[in-house]
Amino acid sequence: MELKVVFLGTSGSMPTPERNLPSIALRRGRELFLFDVGEGTQRQLLKAGMGFKQKMYILITHLHLDHVSGLPGIIHTLSLLQRKAPLMVFGPPGTLEYVRSTIRRVGNLPFKVVVKEVSAGVVLRGPDYTVYAAWADHSCPCLAYAFVEDERPGRFYPERARALGVPEGPLWKKLQSGKPVILTTGKVVKPEDVCGPKRPGRKVVYSGDTRPCDSVVRLAEGADVLIHDSTFGEDMADRALEDGHSTASQAAEVAKKAGVLKLYLTHISPRYRDATPLLEEAVKVFPFTTLAEDLMEVDVKFRETPVGEECT
């Protein structure tokens, strides 16, 4: 199943001609997860060709306006489109009152808005994924989120199945799905007899606004993608500390400590019309770093695994 990250907004505090306010879209199959909804998010969704019809979850890191000012527009648009499916909104304490005040201004809605105020821990469980949260270190209560797929079955090795007398067909399929089978001889063959070790699913982490902190490092451990606050350059480290943000090189340190595969710098201060110097600082610490740009798309692939027959 395709897992795609789309950067809808990569600026911090104020929009610029090149960068919209913070919002990250994660699309998996027919589900859409929006991490923060800065002003203009709905227009960015349209420009990215994502629309509003899929199942949608909104996950808010904190209630500073640059991260939530797009929510009224999204709710209003969904109302005009006569949406029927519920809209799920997650966020820290205070989210419920903000959403209620928004609904009062939009008016009667043809759909339900379900708000869950959350803390560190499990936020949402899907059929084969989990969304976790951890507290970040900002100037107000702020969460970071991790989208984590369940483990996948190990690779299936047909020669092992044949050697154990398992006939090709439905029994192979059952073993590939992680279930034991019983042969006509009464012999039980377990998945681990014919499959390699289980393989990790994909993991995407979004920090929200934060100083570098151990809680985000732990949340991001082993992630395929880390999207981290990189508001300032190293010459503004004191300002970053004061305002509750990170420099690009500090974000790179977090990525390095967490052992992630790829780091994306976002929440870029409007003072940087050209943010290339931030990227240059970060790659000195963590080479696998990319400077995020609005409407950039990232396909998150499964990790490479030993040669064998792919389980289905």
Task: Examine the domain organization and report whether 44 and 147 are in the same domain.
Answer: yes
Domain-located, residue 107: yes
CB of 123 within 8 A of CB of 131?
A: yes
Task: Examine the domain organization and report whether 56 and 29 are in the same domain.
Answer: yes
Compare 155 and 234 and report the one with higher pLDDT.
Answer: 234
Give the residue from 194, 219, 249 where a domain finishes: 194
Other beta carbons less than 10 A from residue 108's beta carbon: 6
Task: Examine the domain organization and report whether 163 and 228 are in the same domain.
Answer: no
User: CATH number, domain at 256?
Assistant: 3.60.15.10
Q: Read off the pLDDT band of 311 (50, 70, 90).
A: very low
Task: Examine the domain organization and report whether 76 and 182 are in the same domain.
Answer: no
Task: Examine the domain organization and report whether 268 and 140 are in the same domain.
Answer: yes
Pairing of strands 181-182, 188-189: antiparallel
Task: Examine the domain organization and report whether 205 and 164 are in the same domain.
Answer: no
Where does residue 8 rank: exposed (0-12), middle (13-18), buried (19+ CB within 10 A)?
buried
Pairing of strands 121-125, 113-117: unpaired
Q: Read off the pLDDT band of 19 (50, 70, 90).
A: very high
Give the residue from 144, 173, 194 where a domain finishes: 194
Domain-located, residue 310: no
Task: Examine the domain organization and report whether 207 and 186 are in the same domain.
Answer: no
> Could you read off the pLDDT of 112-155 as tens digits, one per residue?
999 999 999 999 999 999 999 999 999 999 999 999 999 988 88
Residue 132 and residue 151: Cα distance in Å, rounded? 16
> Could you read off the pLDDT of 260-271 as tens digits, one per residue?
999 999 999 999
Q: Could you confirm whether 229 is annotated as catalytic? A: no
Q: Read off the pLDDT band of 304 (50, 70, 90).
A: low
Alpha helices in the chain (DSSP H): 41-47, 65-68, 71-80, 95-106, 158-163, 170-176, 191-194, 214-220, 237-243, 248-258, 276-285
Domain-located, residue 213: yes
Catalytic residue among 36, 66, 137, 294, which?
A: 66
Q: DSSP string spanning 157-194?
A: -HHHHHHTTPPSSHHHHHHHTT--EE-TTS-EE-HHHH
**Nearest 5°: phi and psi at 59?**
-120, 115
**Nearest 5°: phi and psi at 4?**
-125, 135
pTM of the model: 0.90
For residues 148-165, give the mean pLDDT. Answer: 92
Task: Examine the domain organization and report whether 141 and 96 are in the same domain.
Answer: yes
For residues 213-224, give the mean pLDDT. Answer: 98
For residues 169-173, give the mean pLDDT. Answer: 93
pLDDT of res. 53: 83
Provide the residue range defining the domain that includes 278: 3-152+200-299
Number of domains present in the structure of the chain: 2
CB of 59 within 8 A of CB of 34?
A: yes
Task: Examine the domain organization and report whether 30 and 169 are in the same domain.
Answer: no
Give the rounded percent of residues in the chain with a pLDDT score beyond 90. 89
